[in-house]
């Protein structure tokens, strides 16, 4: 049995947090599906920046699109959609076998739209139509401006991966936006088969508090936030509001653990994978983390629906000077800015390749 099957047998979906044309061309993504039980894939501007800048595989198409008069941004989305269509087709059997619960790939709207509700809605609808794959999520940040865009996108039938979530409050706000979109579809007599995941970022917490906490508390806050969100998700799934939507045919939004590569070299490279294996959730992993788990990962037990360990860990962090609520806001702002920087770097890389 592949070690990754420990996670799938516990009820968690494994997704790959990477895509490049080379990984598609050499069969690596297909092998992830067949050999490592990977059932989906995520991307972001940083991933595509590394893929396009670090490979010659896109160069000819970049030059062709530039000669045809496409803008740099149009060129990027053409390249990304080509890659993600191919990946979506590889995962389509999973999508079909699970009735649309799993088997997704994700494409993010421009990070420059994070504070632009109407621009995000227009981009989400347009990109999903252009991609023309039912198992392609559009990633929308769970920012104040992103939340109404998430609701509207769901109402219009666009499946959404909500990104840049850092706290339980962020997660619940994203879940509420999703439910509002579904409720509007129900009231309009539309089907409720519009999926979503809510991506909670984990390791960035521990990187942010490492200089504040004593050594014995390092790498505890991210896991505690994940545990807390998992308990909150179970409580939400048990609510009357959710059960009524499920009875009407909806699949509920799943909690997705993102940023699960270990950033502390002193910590185990599979730290967040083993600690956050929870039934009904998703863990999207960078290549190195997936390979590490496949090589030596050991699951002691799935995550328990017990709020006490998270509460205790966060109380210790607070006593050491960590303001969790303030830090969650800061991390979302920093994440938003980091994605904009990656976006600008990505567009600059494309522009340089397009130059005659």
User: pLDDT tens digits for 276-331?
Assistant: 999 999 999 999 999 999 999 999 889 999 999 999 999 999 999 999 999 999 99
Check whether 198 has a pLDDT greater than 70: yes
pLDDT digits (tens, 9 = 90+) for 179-194: 999 999 999 999 999 9
DSSP 251: P
User: E strands within the chain?
Assistant: 13-16, 38-41, 105-108, 136-141, 160-165, 196-201, 254-258, 282-285
Could you read off the pLDDT of 10-56 as tens digits, one per residue? 999 999 999 999 999 999 999 999 999 999 999 999 999 999 999 99
Choice among 9, 50, 139, 263 that is catalytic: 139
- Helix/strand/coil for 65: helix
**Catalytic-residue membership of 353:** no
Distance CA 142, CA 278 (A): 22
Question: Per-residue pLDDT for 340 more than 90?
Answer: yes
Q: What is the pLDDT of residue 1?
A: 54
CA distance 183 to 96: 25
pLDDT tens digits, 95-121: 999 999 999 999 999 999 999 999 999
Q: Which domains does the chain have, with CATH numbers?
A: 5-354 (3.20.20.70)
Q: Is the pLDDT of residue 260 over 60?
A: yes
Burial track 65-89 (b if 16+ CB lie within 10 A, e otherwise): bbeeebebeebbbbbbbebbbbbbe
Contact 242, 179 (CB under 8 A): yes
Handedness of CA 71, 77, 78, 83 (dihedral sign): positive
| Residue 105: per-residue pLDDT | 98
Q: Which secondary structure element, helix H or strand E, spans residue 92, and what is its range? A: helix 72-97
């Amino acid at each position: 049995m592949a070690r990754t099957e420990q996670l799938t047998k516990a009820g968690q979906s494994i997704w790959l947090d990477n895509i490049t044309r080379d990984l598609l061309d050499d069969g690596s993504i297909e092998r992830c599906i067949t050999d490592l039980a990977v059932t989906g894939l995520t991307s972001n501007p940083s991933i595509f920046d590394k893929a396009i800048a670090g490979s010659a595989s896109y160069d000819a198409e970049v030059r062709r699109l530039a000669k045809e008069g496409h803008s740099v941004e149009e060129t990027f989305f053409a390249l990304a959609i080509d890659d993600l269509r191919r990946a979506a087709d590889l995962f389509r059997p999973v999508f079909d076998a699970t009735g649309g619960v799993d088997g997704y790939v994700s494409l993010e709207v421009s990070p420059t739209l994070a504070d632009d509700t109407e621009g995000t809605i227009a981009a989400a609808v347009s990109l999903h139509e252009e991609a023309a794959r039912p198992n392609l999520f559009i990633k929308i940040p769970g920012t104040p401006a992103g939340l109404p865009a998430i609701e509207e996108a769901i109402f219009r039938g666009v499946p959404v991966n909500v990104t840049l979530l850092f706290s339980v409050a962020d997660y619940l706000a994203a879940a509420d936006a999703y439910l509002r979109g579904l409720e509007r579809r129900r009231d309009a007599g539309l089907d409720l088969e519009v999926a979503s995941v809510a991506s909670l970022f984990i390791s960035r917490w521990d990187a942010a508090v490492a200089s504040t906490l004593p050594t014995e508390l390092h790498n505890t806050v991210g896991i505690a936030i994940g545990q807390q969100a998992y308990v909150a998700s179970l409580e939400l799934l048990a609510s009357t509001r959710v059960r009524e939507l499920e009875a009407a045919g909806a699949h509920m939004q799943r909690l997705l653990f993102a940023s699960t590569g270990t950033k502390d070299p002193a910590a185990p490279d599979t730290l967040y994978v083993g600690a956050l294996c929870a039934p009904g959730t998703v863990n999207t992993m960078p290549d190195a983390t997936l390979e590490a788990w496949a090589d030596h990962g050991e699951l002691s037990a799935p995550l328990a629906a017990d709020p006490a360990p998270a509460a205790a860990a966060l109380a210790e962090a607070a006593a050491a000077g960590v303001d969790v609520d303030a830090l969650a806001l800061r991390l979302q702002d920093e994440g938003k800015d980091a994605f904009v920087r990656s976006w600008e770097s990505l567009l600059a890389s494309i522009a340089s390749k397009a130059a005659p």
